[in-house]
Amino acid sequence: MHRVVITGAGTINALGHDVATTFEAMREGRCGIGPLEIRDVDRLAVQIAAQVRGYGEHEHFNRQQIALFDRFTQFTLLAARQAMQQSGIEFTGDLADRSGVILGTSGGGLSTQDENYRAVYEEGKNRVHPFIVPKLMNNAATSHVSMEFNLRGPSFTVATACASSNHAMGLAFQMIRSGMCKAMLTGGSESMLVFGGVKAWEGLRVMSKDCCRPFSANRNGMVQGEGAGVFVFEDYDHAKARGANILAEVIGFAMSSDAADIVMPSKQGAARAIAGALRDAQLDKTQVGYINAHGTGTAANDKTESAAVADVFGAHADQLMISSTKSMHGHLIGGTGAVELLACIMALKDGIIAPTINYEEPDPECALDVVPNVARDAQVDVVLSNAFAFGGLNAVLALRRFS
């Protein structure tokens, strides 16, 4: 068994275009949610989102690249470049062959699909650009990352709705821990804030029209975000040998399937994934200081997740902190676990617990310490990151402070 550490992190999301800005926003409890600015927004009932603002694709990519890179791929590459720069790792020779890319996304190149369906259905065009398929495919981001940084080992994309990134990072962790790989670029990305994407979510009637208030009694739904988070996971011995700066250690991962309902979450399924991650990391539950919640702000998720945490941790549930940073960066669907892992790293490395903002009224069904509204200084040694997807697919990661 090999130890697995994180040696690089990168992101672009509604809170910032890099990790430092995102940490600052999380410390300050800043909200990235605002009016949604997309074409035909007047035909949507939901008109808010946590959009990436102030972003110009031409600042980062040339014309040929833009012809091939959907927005979700662009976000991924920007985050991957930051993570690679921080890590300082270079993939050549045998290391390149034993390192790969595993990324999560749910919608993939949804903006590309949306634009081109519009062109052929609404505008009646009979000709489309030749690169639509390589641009929209869910594995496009993974492939471009592998090409840009020469990762030639196991590489693929995971799509498990809102758990995609956690599943991706969990598999990357397992591949390094088992000795199969030396390093992995992993995380995820999403860019679903297009008319068709938001309209589809609207149909489910789980979206808030005003705000995301996880665990608060007056919560009324989720708010979508967009962006990416990408990390360098690396074999500890390899990282140590090259003198890499270590951000945190990944120590456990578990997945479960509710095998119950396509949209309603199950307490048992969530609890099995949480307990499984503790077991995989050989942790006693009292060691866990913080959980980054799935915390979508829907009525169903937050009470089910709270009940699952109470079940697994028993009396210790009242001692640990649990917050939902979706209140700030929105729900990035397939990319959400990756951005949320940043809050875990911040907790371990800086001793700052990101808050659940917009919290207004206690809910007896969510009676945990949700770190309401204001970030908290607290040294924690072990944290978990929860992700529970539609379809009942759950993925929980465990991380430890590296010292």
Residues in contact with another protein by CB under 8 A are 67-68, 127, 129-131
For another protein, the closer of residues 43 and 125 by Cβ is 125
DSSP conformation class of 232:
E
Nearest approach, Cβ of 142 to another protein (angstroms)?
A: 19
Backbone torsions φ then ψ of 293, nearest 5 degrees: -75, 155
Name the residue type at position 219: R
- For residues 296 and 358, give the distance between their C-alpha atoms in angstroms, rounded to a whole number: 13
Catalytic position from the list 17, 167, 294, 329: 294
Among 31, 333, 81, which residue's Cα sits nearest to residue 207? 333
- Based on the residue annotation, tell me whether 162 is a catalytic residue of this protein: yes
Catalytic position from the list 17, 167, 329, 331: 331
Nearest approach, Cβ of 114 to another protein (angstroms)?
A: 19
- Based on the residue annotation, tell me whether 329 is a catalytic residue of this protein: no
For another protein, the closer of residues 38 and 132 by Cβ is 132
- Based on the residue annotation, tell me whether 294 is a catalytic residue of this protein: yes
Nearest approach, Cβ of 40 to another protein (angstroms)?
A: 24
- For residues 20 and 149, give the distance between their C-alpha atoms in angstroms, rounded to a whole number: 23
Nearest approach, Cβ of 151 to another protein (angstroms)?
A: 21
For another protein, the closer of residues 127 and 205 by Cβ is 127
Catalytic position from the list 31, 144, 162, 238: 162
Taking 3-state DSSP, the helix, strand and coil percentages for the chain, each rounded to the nearest 5, stand at: 40, 25, 35
Nearest approach, Cβ of 223 to another protein (angstroms)?
A: 37
Place of tokens 């069904």: 365
Number of helices (H), then strands (E), belonging to the chain: the values are 14, 14
- For residues 1 and 178, give the distance between their C-alpha atoms in angstroms, rounded to a whole number: 6
For another protein, the closer of residues 133 and 259 by Cβ is 133
DSSP conformation class of 18:
S
Among 188, 209, 216, which residue's Cα sits nearest to residue 395? 188
Nearest approach, Cβ of 127 to another protein (angstroms)?
A: 6
* DSSP for 262-317, written as a single string: SSS--HHHHHHHHHHHHHHTT--GGGEEEEE----S-HHHHHHHHHHHHHHHGGGG
For another protein, the closer of residues 45 and 133 by Cβ is 133
* DSSP for 245-262, written as a single string: ---EEEEEEEEEE--S-S
Catalytic sites, residue numbers: 162, 294, 331
